[in-house]
Amino acid sequence: MAHLDDPHTRRANLDYIRDAMDVPLLEKAREMELARAWRDKRDERAMQEIINAYRRLVVAMASKFKHYGLPLGDLMQEGNIGLLEAVNRFDPERDIRFSTYASWWIRSCMQDYVLRNWSIVRTGTTSAQKSLFFNLRRLKAKLAQGAEASAPLSPEHTKKIATDLGVSEQDVADMDMRMASGDQSLNMTIGADGETELQSLVASDAPNPEDVVLGMRTSETRSKWLNEALSALSDRERQIIRERHLSDEPVTLDELGRELGVSKERVRQLETRAMERLRASMLGRVRDSAELYTSA
């Protein structure tokens, strides 16, 4: 699923890459000085100097992910988000170079972006699934040893990769198949005539016209039965049923008791009796009680 940038975007990407590579890396002492200035004083110039010096890490990392067919500019943008996160979280007292720390954040953001956008099919988000996704091609090529790397994995190679990465053999086989096939557009034409689209062969989950009409009739019938059963109740019983069971916001027994001038217990007794009468009336109209609950 290749994404082709337009000429303007390609020029903008090249300008960004040139600018990033022209800025020299920082010495460790200067790096720590700037990091402390940002952490302790929120000195934005210090933050910007660190970011400018290490944008080259973003460029280098983006080049490693470009074979997934995603726009280079988007990959670099995600890397910049990781770089900003690294600046905000970096602790200069841990005696670790900023480039080492930032590389992890940049890679993580790019990996998340690839997982979100590489395929319309959701890829696993566990650490093991991520490791499988980003290492399968490399391990497969290593095991192939000159053979056709695009060929399906053998059972032996599938088992070894599953063991090495701590996932099931089925996960490895499924990922291998998905990465080999990629996504197919539903608008892709198939057949000799070149006019039939793939989506015309996809089964619909929607009910067919006959089921829709039957469902409408069934629903109308049940609604008619319910109204007739309600009309046989007393005014007070009908009010209780409507407000307790047929309202979007059912009222409590206490509220109904105050409204009707009776106790909560009396409302409960009236409700129970009304429900029994309704149930008996509805069941008397069908041969099988399941007919009352058939969805439309």
Please provide the DSSP assignment of 17-41 as one string.
HHHHHHSPPPPHHHHHHHHHHHHHH
> 147: exposed, middle or buried (C-beta count within 10 Å: 0-12, 13-18, 19+)?
exposed
Q: What are the C-alpha distances in Å from 195 to residues 185, 201, 203, 235?
A: 14, 13, 19, 64
Q: Are 173 and 153 in contact (CB under 8 A)?
A: yes
Q: Are 229 and 292 in contact (CB under 8 A)?
A: no
> 22: exposed, middle or buried (C-beta count within 10 Å: 0-12, 13-18, 19+)?
exposed
Contacts of 148 (CB under 8 A, 6+ apart): none
Q: Are 169 and 152 in contact (CB under 8 A)?
A: no
Of 236, 219, 243, 232, nearest to 292 by C-alpha is 219
Q: Are 15 and 75 in contact (CB under 8 A)?
A: no
Structure tokens at 176: 């291998």
Give the whole-angstrom CA distance, residue 140 versus residue 150.
9
- The one-character DSSP state at 284 is T
pLDDT at 296: 42
CB atoms closer than 10 angstroms to residue 187: 8
Q: Are 36 and 55 in contact (CB under 8 A)?
A: no
Q: CA 83: distance to chain centroid?
A: 24
Alpha helices in the chain (DSSP H): 7-22, 28-41, 44-53, 55-65, 72-89, 98-117, 127-144, 155-165, 169-181, 209-231, 235-245, 253-260, 264-283
Show pLDDT as tens, one digit a residue, over the chain (296 residues). Answer: 445 567 888 888 999 999 999 999 999 999 999 999 999 999 999 999 999 999 999 999 999 888 777 889 999 999 999 999 999 999 999 889 999 999 999 998 998 888 888 654 455 556 777 777 777 777 877 877 655 555 678 888 888 888 888 888 888 887 777 666 554 444 555 555 555 554 554 445 555 555 544 555 566 666 777 788 888 888 888 888 888 887 777 888 888 888 888 888 898 888 888 888 888 877 776 655 555 554 44
Which pTM does this prediction carry? 0.51
Give the whole-angstrom CA distance, residue 57 versus residue 275.
71
> 284: exposed, middle or buried (C-beta count within 10 Å: 0-12, 13-18, 19+)?
exposed
Give the whole-angstrom CA distance, residue 257 versus residue 248.
19
Q: Which amino acid is at 200?
A: S
